[in-house]
Every structure is written in C-alpha cells, then in structure tokens.
C-alpha cells in the first residue's frame, strides 16, 4: 500500500513539472513524417544517451499540455502510460537499448485526425531536457465515388433508375475529399462522355432515353494523383411501353362449360398488367394465369361460361404502371348456347286480386333460351303434376298459354311451366294463384265429435279456410243446433269469433235421449256463403278416469290427471284421519283372534277435509297433525270417476308437533312405557268379549232404525260442503263377513234446533280391515234446512263408503 501511495504522489509531482516546463519550447527542429490512412507510422525521438541516463520521456500533440504517452525510466524497468481512449489503444513506445537513436512512438491504423505536430520531451538524470517536434501528415485519398440521379437521390446499387422510356437522364458522380483533389469522368465502354479536372463532381446528361438504352452500362472514374484510380459502374434500368396485344379463343360455347381465352402482349418492361373485363366489369385475377417469356407476356383466363354471358364483350387490357396514361386492348364477343330459363306469369286478369271464384284466368310461359325454345308444358301443385287439356274441367293448353275457366278453391295452388330447346329444358319458378273464394270448413267433410252430458254444456270450435279479410272482406259466422225434432239457431250471445275461427257454447237439456244432436257452423264473406257447413256430432260423454301417480311432498299432494271422458274435469280431495284406539294388554294368541275378526289396530274417521281444485294438486297445511288416508276423485258434469286414487297412512306433522314425545321428529325423549303385566290378560280378554257383544246389539238396533227412517223420509240432493266438522270417533270390532259390503246401514236422529245428529255407518275396508265410523254433527238445524243438510250429509257419507269399498275391491 505504501509503494502505491508513493507512485501516485510521484505521478502528481511529475505532471505538475510537465505543465510548468511546456512553455519553454520555442523553436526547435521539426521532423516531417508522412503516412497513408490505415497504416502504421513511426514518430522518432532520439534519446541521444544511454537509457540509464534518461529519467522520463513524454509525448505531446499540438498545443496540448497533457501528455499522450509517458515512459518512466527512474525506478528500474520502464513504466508506460498512454492516454485513455481509442488513440491510446493504438500507440506504443519502441526502444532498442543498444541503439537509443532508433527510439520512436508507433501509431497503428492511422486515420485522418491523427495528423498534427507531435512533441517528444526527454528528461535526463543529469542533463538538460531535450524536445523534438514531429509533423505527421496523413495522405487522404478521395472518398469512393457516389452517384446521384436528377432528383438528388443516391444510387446505392449497380442499377440506376428505373427510368421511363423517353425520359430525360441526368447522373452525377461525386468524389468528396482527397489531397489533392482528383479528376472525375464518365465513360461508356472506351468512350469518355464527360470530364471534370481537379474537381469533386462530374455530370452525365442524356436528353431522351430510347428503348435501346435499356440495360446500357456507364462508368464513373476518380483518378487522384500518385494513387490508384477508383471506378463505379452503373447499369441503366429502363421501363418500356407494351407494343402489341391480341385475344384468342372465340367461338360458340355451351353454358356451364369452362373456356380458356389467351391474351398475348410483348414489348413491355417490366411485365405489364393484363386485366380482363366483361362488359366493363373487372374479372377476378384469381381466375387468370400469367406466363412471361422475355418481353412476351401471356394471360390465360379460364372462364366458366354462363347463360348471362351471351352477347357480352370480353376485353383484354394491357398497361404498364409506369405509363398510367398509356394502355392497349383487344376484345371478342361471347357466343353462349344454353337451355331455356322459363318464367310463368299471369296475363289475365292483370291483377291477382281479381281472381275470384267462377272467373277465368290465363297463364303465359316465357323462356330465355339460345337457341329459342319450341316446346311448352304446364304443371301444378307441389308434386308437379302435368296439366293437360280437359274441356270438362275448363282447362285448355295452347302453345305457351294455359287457360283456366270457372275458378274454384282447388285452383289456388302453385303453377310451373317448362320450356325446351336443343340444349335441354327447365322448370320455371312457381307462381302461386290465390283465388278469392267462399269460406270452406278446414276439416273438410269430416264430422267432428263432441262429448256432452244431458243438462251440461258443450263447446265447439269451428275453423274455416278463407281468403284474408283485406281481399275477400270480413268473415261472418252463425250456428245452428240440429236436434231430433227440429233445427234451431244458436243465439249470437253464445258465439264468439276470432279471426277465421268461431267458438260456440251450447247447453243441453236434461231430457235429452241418447242422440244429443248436431251443431252446424256456417261462414260467409264478400265472395259468398259457405256451401257446406262444418258439422259437430254431440256424443254422450264418458266418466272421467281417476288420477294416478299421486304423492305428497312438503305437505302438497300432487297427482297426474287421467282422461277427462270428453268434458272439463275438476278434482276432489277427501282426507280421512286414521285413529289409534286404546290397545288392551293381551297375549299374542288373543291379538291374533281379534285381527281375524277384522281389527287392524286402527280406524278411520269420516272425511274430515274436502277440497276441489281445477288441477290434481292440493295443499295439506290446513290438516291437523296425524295420519291420514287421502282419496282423490276426478269430476265432470257427467259424474265422478268410478273409483278414486288413494294414498294410505300418510303422516302430517306441523311445527307444534315437533317436540311431542314419541314423535319421529322430536328431540325430547318421551317417558318410557310401563311393562305389560301378563297377570291382567284374562280379565282384559273377558272385558273385550263383553264389549263385542254389546256393540253387536247396538249395531243391530242402528241398522233397524236406518231402514225405518229411509222408508219414512227420502233424502234430497244438495250442495256438498267442502269441509265436514268432526267431534268424536269410535271404532267397530265387527268383521266384514257379517254384513255385505254393498249394504250401508245409516241411523239419523233428528231433534229440535241445536240438537246433534248421530250417524253411524259401515265403511269399506282400509288395510283389509272393515271399520265403522261414528260422528257427531254440531251444526245448528232448523225445520227445513237441518233436514236438507242431514240428508245431504247422509248421502255424502254413503257415497264415500261406496268409493272406499271400490278401492279395496
């Protein structure tokens, strides 16, 4: 570290001494050195003493006070310092100790800015400082010649241009720099065309470029003194106009075939643009193929000849983009043979809106064909049936005309015609005739059937085919009812009209027999009245089918509706609650004996809930918690479905029931049941037998009273309430074998206003166990209304039992 600091201090002291002593240079001997660019030169500096007597050697350039190169001989081996940068990298000091006079500073790859006066300063140990001056002169040849056109653009390659035929030519050759300035001249071959002495620019001027100048070569020569001359060759690139064009390939061509046409041109440079036109419309260039052979260019157009090309002009146009105002072209005419293109039109009457029933029409078949068409035929309908002369039907075909007499609705169809020539034939596009006619039934002569029931209503919808009201006026409908006795008009209040359809609602009498009659629909417009009516035969409706696929989800019961029998149907839900009677403690043998008598361990109440809906969908949130059996009926004016759909033992739970002990959803454990005492089994069996005997006697009395009441009072039909209140429930233990399923005994007890009615009856079998239902009616009664309500209650319950029996059957 100490040695490094010492060297730095020594360098700073030496640098200061150099600055102070550089001003002592006055006049000294100047050594002249010449060097060529890019070479290596030597700047001599004679030491004039042995190396041991020299302290330092320093080189300066021009008037700079900073040395560009330093050699320190004071501390053993010499130490060299060169100025930083590109020049320092190209310099080094050369010393031969045996010949100190040959010492010099070598500069490699001399460039022009290395030129200048260099000063070599030698500091001796014991002698005065000596300075040498070296004048380095760099010989500068001229720059390579550059060529420019008349617009001052430099020509970089070996080609000048492109120039156009007939254009004025001016070329300049410039050789910048050089000591001394060189001579510049233009040559074509051995002929000198232009010369400039000791100048930097020489121009070549040709007033008009002819076709012969295309590809001509010119040379620019730069000749500096004492140096080798420099050359620059350039070739003239000349664009030429096309001189000739011709199209070949004419002749007749069949439509649909490909035809090749050739357009030939020569003399253009570069190769020209060849464009094809058909009646001034440019043809897509992708359909052409270009061939170039020297100055001859061919364009081959492959064209799919079409019918539309007949008589059109095909033009080949040749142009050179360097001569936008100059084009040449040739052309020919298309000759196309093609089969007829037929067209059918209505010539009588002139306007299609005048085509009315019973009028006449004339159709014309025209054809665009080459050669002309000579045979015409007519067709009708989507199936394309040929039309032939038929005087009876009023059809006549005469050459290219079709005459229709006495128009009818069946004439409203599509018509086509076909024309023929030697190239083929073709059908025309369809022409639709819309004959304005009277209304006709959409169903034709088909008699439609309706389902109805005596005392009910039937709804019929009549649709007719008729022209639009804008052409044939509005439609007017009227209906008649054809009964077994007479024909009656249907009141207009029962008829609705919407567009080309009419709907009627007709009520049927209760005394109708098996033949419920007919409905006839008539329509008319401005053309006339409907010739034949639309007929509807009213047939007796069938009973609806019960719903199917019933299920309960989220306290909503849903079913699939069955066939309605031909009438609009509603759906009735009856809910029967299952009741668990008190179970006696008996052994297994006694329980088996009771089940054989018809006891299933549970019973059914009467219908505790009824509800009607237009869809087989019912909400069950109105039911109290429990287990239910649901009966779902379909009802129409004709009656109920023969048997209901049934869902058995459906559990209904509510929020208040969630924590009840014993519930499936409770989270509170319920009390444990006491163990069954087998010691009381004999007593319980005796009590059950006595109860069975008493209940049998009571039931027999009830049956007798019911028979007597039915003989005395006949029940009347009334409106069925949607909901029946329930107060108490009991279960019978009698088996089904003792009474026929078809017998439903009923006991009705009537009293003063506010009394209760007790009704008991046998019900059908649910889960194969015959049950009897005991109910109390708490509704108030008066002398008339109570009787009607009780009779209706009795009738409704009887019907319910019948339905339940049918389910089990």
Q: What was the pLDDT predicted at 486?
A: 82
User: Tokens 């009516």 — which residue?
Assistant: 533
Average pLDDT of span 346-351:
87
Q: What was the pLDDT predicted at 632?
A: 94
Please state, rounded to an integer, the average pLDDT across all residues of the chain: 77
The answer to whether residue 93 sits within a structural domain is yes
> Are 353 and 430 in the same domain?
yes
Is residue 575 predicted with pLDDT exceeding 70?
yes
> Are 150 and 128 in the same domain?
no
CATH of the domain at 119: 2.60.40.10
Q: Find out whether 419 and 365 touch, Cβ atoms under 8 Å.
A: yes
Is residue 788 predicted with pLDDT exceeding 60?
no
Residue in 728, 706, 703 with CA at minimum distance from that of residue 605: 728
State both tokens at 69.
Answer: 């190169």
Q: Which residues are within 8 A (CB) of 7 and not within 5 positions of it... i.e. 6 or more apart?
A: none
Q: What percent of the chain has pLDDT over 70?
A: 75
Residue 190's domain comprises 141-239
Sheet holding 401-404, edge to edge: 252-254, 335-348, 361-370, 401-404, 395-398
Average pLDDT of span 484-498:
88
The answer to whether residue 702 sits within a structural domain is no
> Are 346 and 447 in the same domain?
no
Average pLDDT of span 497-518:
82
Q: Which residues are within 8 A (CB) of 491 and not within 5 positions of it... i.e. 6 or more apart?
A: none
For the packed helices 588-596 and 681-712, what is the interaxial angle rounded to 10 degrees?
10
Can you tell me the distance from the alpha carbon of 299 to that of 291, in angstroms, rounded to the nearest whole number? 6
Q: What was the pLDDT predicted at 382?
A: 83
Q: What is the pLDDT of residues 251-290, one digit of tens each?
A: 888 988 999 999 999 999 989 999 999 998 999 989 999 9
- Of the residues 409, 436, 463, which one is the last residue of a structural domain? 436
Confidence of residue 602 (pLDDT cuts 50, 70, 90): very low
The answer to whether residue 658 sits within a structural domain is no
* Higher pLDDT, residue 167 or 717: 167
> Are 106 and 161 in the same domain?
no
Is residue 756 predicted with pLDDT exceeding 80?
no
> Are 475 and 536 in the same domain?
yes
> Are 67 and 151 in the same domain?
no
Which DSSP category does 565 fall into?
A: T
Confidence of residue 469 (pLDDT cuts 50, 70, 90): confident
* Higher pLDDT, residue 461 or 705: 461
* Higher pLDDT, residue 591 or 614: 614
> Are 365 and 427 in the same domain?
yes
- Expressed in angstroms, the distance from the first to the final Cα of the chain is 125
Q: What was the pLDDT predicted at 227?
A: 72
Comparing 165-169, 326-330, 419-423, 575-579, the range with the smallest average pLDDT is 575-579
Is residue 123 predicted with pLDDT exceeding 50?
yes
Q: Find out whether 407 and 359 touch, Cβ atoms under 8 Å.
A: yes
Q: What was the pLDDT predicted at 200?
A: 84
The answer to whether residue 795 sits within a structural domain is no
Structurally, how many domains does the chain consist of? 6
Q: What was the pLDDT predicted at 564?
A: 83
Q: What was the pLDDT predicted at 13?
A: 44
Average pLDDT of span 761-786:
34
Residue in 358, 338, 357, 359 with CA at minimum distance from that of residue 348: 359
Q: What was the pLDDT predicted at 711?
A: 53
- Of the residues 291, 315, 334, which one is the last residue of a structural domain? 334
The β-bridge relationship of strands 327-333 and 41-44 is: unpaired
Average pLDDT of span 461-480:
89
Q: Find out whether 620 and 552 touch, Cβ atoms under 8 Å.
A: yes
The answer to whether residue 794 sits within a structural domain is no
pTM listed for this prediction: 0.39
> Are 123 and 182 in the same domain?
no
Comparing 17-26, 259-268, 425-434, the range with the smallest average pLDDT is 17-26
Residue in 779, 798, 774 with CA at minimum distance from that of residue 579: 774
* Higher pLDDT, residue 33 or 582: 33
Average pLDDT of span 363-390:
90
Is residue 404 predicted with pLDDT exceeding 70?
yes
Average pLDDT of span 226-246:
90
The answer to whether residue 255 sits within a structural domain is yes
Average pLDDT of span 524-540:
89
Comparing 171-185, 309-323, 448-462, 755-769, the range with the smallest average pLDDT is 755-769
Confidence of residue 29 (pLDDT cuts 50, 70, 90): confident
Q: What percent of the chain has pLDDT over 90?
A: 36
> Are 644 and 563 in the same domain?
yes
Is residue 653 predicted with pLDDT exceeding 90?
no
State both tokens at 101.
Answer: 């006079």
Q: What was the pLDDT predicted at 686?
A: 67
Q: Which residues are within 8 A (CB) of 117 and not within 5 positions of it... i.e. 6 or more apart?
A: 30, 61, 62, 133, 134, 135, 136
Confidence of residue 320 (pLDDT cuts 50, 70, 90): very high
Is residue 542 predicted with pLDDT exceeding 60?
yes
The answer to whether residue 713 sits within a structural domain is no
> Are 230 and 251 in the same domain?
no
Confidence of residue 780 (pLDDT cuts 50, 70, 90): very low
Is residue 664 predicted with pLDDT exceeding 90?
no
> Are 493 and 419 in the same domain?
no
Q: What was the pLDDT predicted at 743?
A: 31
Residue in 55, 172, 181 with CA at minimum distance from that of residue 121: 55
> Are 36 and 123 in the same domain?
yes
- Of the residues 402, 419, 436, which one is the last residue of a structural domain? 436
Q: What was the pLDDT predicted at 226?
A: 60
Q: Find out whether 21 and 56 touch, Cβ atoms under 8 Å.
A: no
Q: Which residues are within 8 A (CB) of 653 and not within 5 positions of it... i.e. 6 or more apart?
A: 625, 663, 664, 665
* Higher pLDDT, residue 653 or 186: 186
Torsion of CA 11, 16, 22, 23, to 10 degrees: 180
Q: What was the pLDDT predicted at 458?
A: 85
Can you tell me the distance from the alpha carbon of 525 to that of 474, in angstroms, rounded to the nearest whole number? 6
Comparing 70-84, 327-341, 613-627, 687-701, the range with the smallest average pLDDT is 687-701
Residue in 347, 344, 365, 361 with CA at minimum distance from that of residue 411: 361
Can you tell me the distance from the alpha carbon of 357 to that of 400, in angstroms, rounded to the nearest whole number? 24
The answer to whether residue 644 sits within a structural domain is yes
User: Tokens 């069949």 — which residue?
Assistant: 254
């Amino acid at each position: 570290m100490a040695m490094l600091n010492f060297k730095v201090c020594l360098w700073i002291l030496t640098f200061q001494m150099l600055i102070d002593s550089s001003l002592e240079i006055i006049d000294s001997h100047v050594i002249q050195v010449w060097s060529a660019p890019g070479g290596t030169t030597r700047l001599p500096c004679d030491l004039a003493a042995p190396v041991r007597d020299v302290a330092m050697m320093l080189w300066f350039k021009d008037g700079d006070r900073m040395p560009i190169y330093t050699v320190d001989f004071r501390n053993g081996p010499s130490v060299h310092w060169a100025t930083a940068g590109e020049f320092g990298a190209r310099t080094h000091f050369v010393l031969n100790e045996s010949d100190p006079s040959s010492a010099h500073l070598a500069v490699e790859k001399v460039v022009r800015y290395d030129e200048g006066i260099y000063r070599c300063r030698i500091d001796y140990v014991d002698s005065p400082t000596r300075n040498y001056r070296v004048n380095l002169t760099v010989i500068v040849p001229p720059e390579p010649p550059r060529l420019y056109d008349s617009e001052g653009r430099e020509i970089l390659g070996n080609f000048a241009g492109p120039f156009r035929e007939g254009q004025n030519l001016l070329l300049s050759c410039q050789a910048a720099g050089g000591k001394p300035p060189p001579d510049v001249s233009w040559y074509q071959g051995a002929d000198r065309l232009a010369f400039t002495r000791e100048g930097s620019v020489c121009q070549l001027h040709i007033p008009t470029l002819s076709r012969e100048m295309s590809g001509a070569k010119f040379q620019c020569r730069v000749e500096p003194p004492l140096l080798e001359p420099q050359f620059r060759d350039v070739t003239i690139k000349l664009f030429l106009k096309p001189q000739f064009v011709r199209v070949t390939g004419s002749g007749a061509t069949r439509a649909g075939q490909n035809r090749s046409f050739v357009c030939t041109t020569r003399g253009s440079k570069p190769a020209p643009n060849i464009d094809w036109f058909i009646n001034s419309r440019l043809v897509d260039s992708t359909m052409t193929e270009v061939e170039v052979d020297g100055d001859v260019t061919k364009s081959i157009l492959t064209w799919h000849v079409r019918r539309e090309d007949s008589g059109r002009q095909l033009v080949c146009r040749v142009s050179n983009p360097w001569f936008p105002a100059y084009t040449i072209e040739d052309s020919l005419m298309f000759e196309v043979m093609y089969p007829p293109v037929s067209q059918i039109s209505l010539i009588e009457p002139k306007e299609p809106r005048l085509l009315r029933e019973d009028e006449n029409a004339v159709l014309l078949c025209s054809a665009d064909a080459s050669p002309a068409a000579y045979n015409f035929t007519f067709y009708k309908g989507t199936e394309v049936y040929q039309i032939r002369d038929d005087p009876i039907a009023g059809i006549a075909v005469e050459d290219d005309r079709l005459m229709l007499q006495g128009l009818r609705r069946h004439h409203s169809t599509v018509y086509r015609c076909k024309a023929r020539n030697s190239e083929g034939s073709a059908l025309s596009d369809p022409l639709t005739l819309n004959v304005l006619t009277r209304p006709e039934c959409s169903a034709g002569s088909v008699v439609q059937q309706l389902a109805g029931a005596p005392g009910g209503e039937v709804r019929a919808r009549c649709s007719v085919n008729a022209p639009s009201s804008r052409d044939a006026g509005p439609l007017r409908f009227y209906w008649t009812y054809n009964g077994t006795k007479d024909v009656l008009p249907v009141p207009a209040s029962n008829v609705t009209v919407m567009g080309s359809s009419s709907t009627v609602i007709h009520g049927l009498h209760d005394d109708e027999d098996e033949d419920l009659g007919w409905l006839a629909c008539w329509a008319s417009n401005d053309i006339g009245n409907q010739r034949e009516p639309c007929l509807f035969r009213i047939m007796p409706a069938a009973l609806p089918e019960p719903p199917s696929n019933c299920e309960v989800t989220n306290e909503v019961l849903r079913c699939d509706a069955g066939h309605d029998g031909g009438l609009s149907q509603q759906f009735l839900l009856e809910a029967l609650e299952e009741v668990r009677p008190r179970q006696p403690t008996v052994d297994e043998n006694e329980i088996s004996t009771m089940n054989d008598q018809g006891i299933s361990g549970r019973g059914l109440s009467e219908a505790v809930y009824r509800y009607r809906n237009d869809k087989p969908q019912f909400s069950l949130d109105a039911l109290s918690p429990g287990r239910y059996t649901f009966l779902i009926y379909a009802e129409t004016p004709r009656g109920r479905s023969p048997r209901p759909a049934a869902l058995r033992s459906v559990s209904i739970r509510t929020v208040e029931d969630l924590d009840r002990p014993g519930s499936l959803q409770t989270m509170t454990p319920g009390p444990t049941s006491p163990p069954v005492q087998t010691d009381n089994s004999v007593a319980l069996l005796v009590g059950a037998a006595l109860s069975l005997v008493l209940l049998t006697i009571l039931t027999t009395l009830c049956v007798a009273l019911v028979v007597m009441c039915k003989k005395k009072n006949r029940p009347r039909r009334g409106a069925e309430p949607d909901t029946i209140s329930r107060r108490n429930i009991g279960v019978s233990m009698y088996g089904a074998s003792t009474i026929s399923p078809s017998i439903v005994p009923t006991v009705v007890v009537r009293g003063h206003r506010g009394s209760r009615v007790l009704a008991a009856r046998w019900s059908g079998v649910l889960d194969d166990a015959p049950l009897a239902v005991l109910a109390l009616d708490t509704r108030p009664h008066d002398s008339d209304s109570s009787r009607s309500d009780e009779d209706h209650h009795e009738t409704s319950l009887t019907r319910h039992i019948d339905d339940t029996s049918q389910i089990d059957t």
